[in-house]
Amino acid sequence: MKMLILITASLFISACSDKPPLVQDDGKTHSLTVQVQNIDPAKKEVVVALYSPTDPLTGTGFTQQVIQVERSQHQVVFDNLATGEYAVGAYQNVDDDLAFAISSNGIPQEPLGFSNNPRLMGPPSFAMLSFELRQAEQVDVVLINYNE
C-alpha cells in the first residue's frame, strides 16, 4: 500500500511539474559552443567549466577546458552532451595557478562570467545560470572584472 501511495504521488508531482526532467534519456547528443568575451589578451588562459544540476558551482564542473588566449574573445566547444539542463562558468586565470581566486570578503579576484550573464550580488544559483540543451546551441559568456 505504501508503495502504491509513493508511485501515485510521484506521478502526480511529475504531471504537475512545469519543467522537463533535468536530463532526458532520448539518446540524442548535442554540441554546445561557448563564446567567451571580454578576455584580456595579455593574460595567458581562460578556464571554461560545464555544470550539470548535480555539480557544485564551486567546483570544476563535470568537464572543463583550458584555452590559451590571444584575442578578446574565444570559442570553446563541448561535444556529445545529452539533452538536458546545463550551466557554464568561466574565469581568466590571471595568476597562473588554475584555481579561481576569491578575496576574504568574497569578491572574485579574477575576471569571471557565467551563462545567462547575470548581475551578481553574491554567489549564483544553478537556476540563475541554467539553460536547456535540446539541440546544438551557442552560449555567450562575458567575463567581468569585479576588482575594477
Name 17's Cβ contacts closer than 8 Å, sequence gap at least 6: none
DSSP code for 57: T
Name the CATH topology of 22-142: Immunoglobulin-like (2.60.40)
Phi, psi of 102 (to 5 degrees): -130, 140
Position 25 scores a pLDDT of 55
Confidence of residue 97 (pLDDT cuts 50, 70, 90): confident
Position 59 scores a pLDDT of 79
Q: Provide the mean pLDDT of the chain.
A: 82
Q: Where are the domains of the chain?
A: 22-142
pLDDT in tens, 18-56: 333 345 557 889 999 999 999 999 888 999 999 999 998
Q: 109 in helix, strand or coil? A: coil
Weakest mean pLDDT among 10-14, 77-81, 85-89: 10-14
- Residue 13 cell numbers, joined: 508531482
Name 137's Cβ contacts closer than 8 Å, sequence gap at least 6: 30, 32, 33, 131
Position 24 scores a pLDDT of 54
